Structure 1
Amino acid sequence: MDLGELWAIFGPGVAGAVFGTGWWFWVDAVVCSSVNVSFVHYLPGIFASLAAVMFNCVKKDDIDYSPYDDGEWRLKLWLFVAYVVSFVSLAASVGLLIQDSLVKSGPSVWTGTA
């Protein structure tokens, strides 16, 4: 087996494990922290999870270029919306990180390092 075949077999499992570990660290930090976390900070993770579900709803075999097929544009539109949701959640999380690091009244000076 070459590296491409191994990545095709183990890649989704590794990606799911990394995504689940990220959620595990987030929930652990929220539960163990003495600081009240507002619901706005949950939204990027919720939308990133929604985007992951949207990506996984599409089979790779269903995406094929056929100029005479009417149903394919719906799949491409669905994937485009999934990409938009994914990038917006990433931008929102970075924006919240920057906003929290610029505010001096926060609980810690080291926002975003742990």
Structure 2
Amino acid sequence: MANNVYKFPGTEGAQVAPDVVPESAPQKAPSGPGVAKKSFSGGVKVLWFVIALIWPVLRWLLALDVVFQGALMLWHWDTPGSHAGWAFSLHFAVLVALTFFVSVFKPSGVK
């Protein structure tokens, strides 16, 4: 069998390695994402897709809910035992989180 090693300009010749068989490295399992990570990623992708489809209507409904909760918070401002401020904060946080989830977050594989 002929040696087909070509010498490139400006380099030394190819070094000839002795016929030594390297020790085989132990086989280890492929390090890919686990089943749980794949299923969670798929679930997030499906959730994002469903919310993105109904987002134009859901955004209006959530905005009206936040306005109603804000008015209820103002009405019950001095009522002891009423947690209308916390309810308003929770509804507003859900609106902000869903807006962020739909507009900024893009799952892998979605253009």
What is the TM-score with the length of structure 1 in the denominator? 0.36
Structure (1 or 2) with the larger CA radius of gyration: 2
Return the structure number with greater helix share: 1
What is the TM-score with the length of structure 2 in the denominator? 0.37
